[in-house]
């Protein structure tokens, strides 16, 4: 007998019929002799509706009350799933965030889980009840409702699995698992049986939105074995695990991409200490996240000026340009160029830590297709390049073949 946490996303609980299908799936684990805790999202579309209501009251809103409103969707689903389970003979009860409680920081609308009380829920589970827990929600030290930010239910599930000492945390979603790349673009993309936490983090951060990034961080920290699998099929999914659980590590696990990038280049920036701090300080003050940053050594003879390129999300581009222009005098650049038509393509794999030449093969593969690389950035297990958006599909397919990832079409 094992203790398992299952998490079902919004499309898996979109209506009562689907909630009943989820109940059957939960019953499967119970019938197999397991103790089960289930974490649920709000029914698809509900959270958006609630956020819309909040925004109708005013653009600048109190996130404490925002959390009161938007956390209600998961409450509804958890009650309904408990009822659906009971109606097929599976004893079940819901545990709301304040009932366990799930204690979080006070950063409303983006709170972090700090601890989960498990004594009562474990007693109930040991007595044979399935525990149904709404994702996304918790309470602050001041006893106010908090939420974890969009996609937070993944994190709720992983944190609950960690607190309960679960053997596995199964994240049911509308895809079959984690793929070597986007199968909608590359027909030969393969589902991965296993992937490391680190790789999963890089995949998530570059746009493969299968798991919320924070949930992978929590899983990694507590060593929770996470399985990403489909609510709509019985196939096994992808296990996200520690590196040492993966016997035959591939060199490269996947190719990810993000279209949500826009590029800004400042030409002829003064090459003085403190200039970069000024630019990115101003952007940070405006709450704009900067992703890639590239600054070359000064090309001119006097080392007096250099070019600086960085990327922001497409949504932030306009504000970022305005913010930089507002500091134009201070920064003393000659020209500002911006381009929203770029895509970031990343090659990811823990194997590259011990293998040279991964980046070179990437650059060569892109060059062979005549694709110009605008910006390069690397981490220990990732090489990312920024290229013109129109080359996205070509680049993905080409790199997928280059690193030997192609499966059956």
Using rule CB under 8 A, residue 57 touches a second copy? yes
Strand order in the sheet with 238-241: 92-94, 130-134, 35-40, 3-8, 168-173, 226-230, 238-241, 194-196
Using rule CB under 8 A, residue 87 touches a second copy? yes
As given in the structure block, the two tokens for residue 310 are: 């960085």
Using rule CB under 8 A, residue 118 touches a second copy? no
Using rule CB under 8 A, residue 82 touches a second copy? yes
As given in the structure block, the two tokens for residue 257 are: 């991409």
> H helices then E strands: how many in the chain?
13, 18
Smallest gap from Cβ 8 to a second copy, in A, equals: 15
Cβ closest to a second copy, residue 75 vs residue 374: 75
Smallest gap from Cβ 90 to a second copy, in A, equals: 12
Q: Which of 72, 176, 230, 379: binder of a second copy (CB under 8 A)?
A: 72
Using rule CB under 8 A, residue 65 touches a second copy? yes
CA distances from 346 to 86, 204, 207, 331 (A): 46, 11, 10, 31
Q: How far apart are CA 228 and CA 175, in angstroms?
A: 8
Q: How far apart are CA 328 and CA 334, in angstroms?
A: 9
Tell me if residue 88 falls in helix, strand or coil.
coil
Smallest gap from Cβ 92 to a second copy, in A, equals: 8
As given in the structure block, the two tokens for residue 304 are: 């007096």
Q: Choose among 78, 165, 63, 75: nearest CA to 116.
A: 165
As given in the structure block, the two tokens for residue 171 are: 């994240």
Give 141's DSSP letter: T
**Per-residue contact flags (x/-) with a second copy for residues 132 to 161, judged by CB under 8 A:** -----------xxx----------------
Tell me if residue 245 falls in helix, strand or coil.
helix
Using rule CB under 8 A, residue 79 touches a second copy? yes
**Per-residue contact flags (x/-) with a second copy for residues 16 to 45, judged by CB under 8 A:** x--xx-------------------------
As given in the structure block, the two tokens for residue 161 are: 């699995």
Q: Which of 12, 35, 41, 94: binder of a second copy (CB under 8 A)?
A: 94
Half-sphere exposure of 42 (CA within 13 A, CB side): 21
The radius of gyration of the chain from alpha carbons, rounded to an integer in Å, stands at 23
Smallest gap from Cβ 79 to a second copy, in A, equals: 3
Residue 370's φ and ψ, nearest 5 degrees, are 75, 25
Question: Which range of residues in 85-93, 171-179, 285-293, 392-400 is near a second copy by CB under 8 A?
Answer: 85-93
Q: Choose among 121, 117, 126, 55: nearest CA to 93.
A: 121
Q: How far apart are CA 192 and CA 336, in angstroms?
A: 42
Smallest gap from Cβ 304 to a second copy, in A, equals: 51
Cβ closest to a second copy, residue 231 vs residue 402: 231
Q: Which of 4, 5, 37, 96: binder of a second copy (CB under 8 A)?
A: 96
Q: Which of 2, 24, 45, 62: binder of a second copy (CB under 8 A)?
A: 62
Q: Which of 45, 53, 353, 368: binder of a second copy (CB under 8 A)?
A: 53
Question: Which range of residues in 94-102, 123-131, 178-186, 198-206 is near a second copy by CB under 8 A?
Answer: 94-102
Using rule CB under 8 A, residue 99 touches a second copy? yes
Using rule CB under 8 A, residue 116 touches a second copy? no
Cβ closest to a second copy, residue 131 vs residue 283: 131
Question: Which range of residues in 26-34, 74-82, 339-347, 398-406 is near a second copy by CB under 8 A?
Answer: 74-82
Q: Applying CB under 8 A, which residues contact a second copy?
A: 16, 19-20, 50, 53-54, 56-58, 61-62, 64-69, 71-73, 75-76, 78-80, 82-84, 86-87, 93-94, 96, 98-99, 143-145
């Amino acid at each position: 007998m094992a203790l398992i946490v299952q998490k079902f996303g919004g499309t898996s609980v979109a209506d009562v019929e689907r909630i009943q299908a989820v109940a059957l799936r939960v019953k499967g684990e119970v019938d197999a002799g397991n103790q089960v805790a289930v974490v649920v999202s709000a029914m698809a579309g509900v959270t958006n509706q609630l956020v819309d209501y909040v925004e109708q009251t005013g653009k600048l809103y109190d996130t404490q009350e925002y959390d009161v409103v938007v956390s209600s969707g998961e409450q509804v689903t958890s009650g309904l799933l408990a009822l659906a389970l009971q109606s097929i003979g599976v004893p079940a009860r819901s545990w709301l965030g304040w009932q366990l409680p799930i204690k979080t920081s006070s950063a409303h609308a983006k709170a972090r889980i700090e601890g989960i009380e498990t004594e009562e829920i474990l007693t109930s589970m040991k007595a044979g009840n399935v525990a149904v827990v709404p994702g996304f929600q918790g309470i602050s030290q001041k006893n106010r409702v908090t939420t974890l930010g969009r996609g937070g239910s993944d994190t709720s599930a992983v944190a609950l699995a960690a607190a309960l000492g679960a053997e596995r945390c199964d994240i049911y979603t509308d895809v079959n698992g984690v793929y070597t790349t986007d199968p909608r673009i590359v027909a030969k993309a393969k589902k991965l049986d296993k992937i490391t936490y680190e790789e999963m983090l890089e995949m998530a951060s570059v746009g493969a939105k299968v798991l919320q990034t924070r949930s992978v961080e929590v899983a990694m920290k507590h060593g929770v074995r996470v399985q990403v699998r489909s609510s709509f099929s019985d196939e096994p999914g992808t296990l996200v695990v520690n590196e040492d659980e993966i016997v035959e590590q591939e060199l490269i696990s996947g190719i990810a991409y993000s279209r949500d990038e826009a590029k800004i280049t400042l030409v002829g920036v003064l090459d003085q200490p403190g200039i970069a701090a000024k630019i990115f300080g101003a952007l940070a003050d405006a709450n704009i996240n900067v992703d890639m940053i590239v600054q070359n050594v000064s090309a001119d003879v006097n080392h007096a000026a250099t070019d600086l390129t960085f990327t922001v999300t497409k949504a932030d581009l306009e504000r970022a340009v305005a913010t930089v222009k507002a500091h134009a005098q201070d920064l003393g650049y000659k020209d500002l160029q911006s381009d929203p038509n770029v895509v970031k393509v990343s090659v990811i794999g823990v194997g590259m830590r011990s293998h040279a030449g991964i980046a070179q093969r990437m650059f060569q593969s892109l060059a062979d297709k005549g694709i110009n690389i605008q910006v390069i950035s690397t981490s220990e297990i990732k090489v990312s390049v920024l290229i013109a958006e129109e080359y996205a599909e070509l680049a993905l397919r080409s790199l997928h073949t280059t690193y030997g990832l192609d499966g059956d079409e």
